[in-house]
Structure 1
Amino acid sequence: MNPVAGGPAVDASPPWLAALAPCAQRVAARTAAGDSVAHALSAEPVAIELPAGPLRFVPGDSAAPGEAYEAFIFRTACVPTRDNLHDLLNGLAWLHFPRAKRRLNELQAAEIARTGIGGTRGPLRDALTLFDENGAVLDAPPALWEALVARDWRQLFVTRRSLWREARLLVFGHALLEKLHTPRKAATAHVLLPSGANPSLPITDASIAAALDAGHLATKPFVPLPVLGVPGWWSPNENFSFYDDSEVFRPRRVQQPKPTKPALQGGSA
């Protein structure tokens, strides 16, 4: 466990943080030495620029009063960052997946410019926020995808368990990573189901960014996945009774047809 001075802590060892671990360890070392989270993140190299210039992390109160968070990032290339675990993990995602995060920000900013900030975000901004906060990407054999989409948890995690050796799951959402800091069985990712015949998505920054199509995202193409059921991710799931919990591993809802009203009969009373 790497302490952050006066604030959050980062444990970079769990499998869900594997992609971010090297950067997380360096940032944690800086914050432990007294740096703010924003300053520690800004010391890391950034692979690309945003439309407004080089990506930077700034104090959490940097945006003008009333300015939307995503609009501020798009306008300034600055990410407001508080000294807490949530914002630290968001910053790590920016550093490791800058193309995907830039794409999310561009789409959010375009929608804000088009519709403004109202009481509701609308379907596209809802989907963008859901993926940014709670999303995941899966590269897996077709049999695992079929079981996941069908919510056939026994097939997914028990019968076809050996296939997980050929699979890779990336937790992208920083809010979900924050929840997994204290692992609980119900922690659930929203796995992006790409458009096209092959649902598998190679897990690279460029491929994730390319999959973030506005029209597709507006349909909310996500499949829920209780991530602590993934083999090797949490020792309690080695006992297969782990998956018998119907409050977590819920069956897929069957859409019931709407009842039709009976035709009115003619005649008089």
Structure 2
Amino acid sequence: NNALAELHIKKRQEIVVILRSLTTRIVVYLEDIKLGVQRLGAFDFIRAKARLASEWSCVLPSIGEDTRVKAAKHPLLADRLRAENKEIIALDYELHADQRLIVISGPNAGGKSVSLKTVGLLQYMLQSGFLVPCSVVSTFHLFENIFIDIGDDQSIESDLSTYSSHLKAAKHIINFSSSDTMVLMDEIGTGTDPMFGGPMAEAVLEEIQKKGAYGIITTHFSNIKAKAEKLEGVINAAMLFDVENLVPLYKLQLGQPGSSFVYEVAANIGLNKKLIKRAKQLT
């Protein structure tokens, strides 16, 4: 046993001697090794971006003063639908001096948030050096800032409710927006009494418009749709809905506000007909 233990010790000592010898030989090439590691990392990153671009059918669009995008697709949604043997409906949109802000309205589950996220994701991908899934004839403007308010950021730790978290985001957006800012706000003004949340959202929209920012804002509030008609550089858009078949079409149509189709959506998911009828009576 003692002899075996001594052999193990000698083995470890010999390993140390070999490692020291190797270290002494290669230390003179340390800077070259560091440079090689950096280059390998860069090549691996470029290759990964190229593979992603190939898998998602991405292109390099033009860069210009305006944003005019054709056939934009959310890549993750496209992947999911492809797995279900379904075709994604591409998105066309434009942001320019005469159409800086697009206010999207329409039914729940009709594609408002997906449209907003598609715009934001493609913009961020391009500004991060990635090719983007859209038509090659598309043109993007590169913004200095991209401000996003999507989802529910309520926090017990920070003592933030749903509405106060949205107000905090709106405060930051208003304070730091400019004519070189993209703003993406989902369901503006929600999380509180619509009687007060609507006017607050309207005031926020006015301030963002005054700042000259560009972007997409989604809403269900009628006063926001009405305000969009009056503000210069702001346009309404609707997510289309097939009333006859009670299904969303997931198509964005510019120039007119959309309806929430509350009762149609309720009927489509199988809500009790008597309940829907009673809701109509109470409207």
For the criterion TM > 0.5, the same-fold answer is: no
TM-score (structure 1 length as normaliser): 0.23
Higher relative CO (Cα under 8 Å, sequence separation at least 6) belongs to 2
TM-score (structure 2 length as normaliser): 0.23
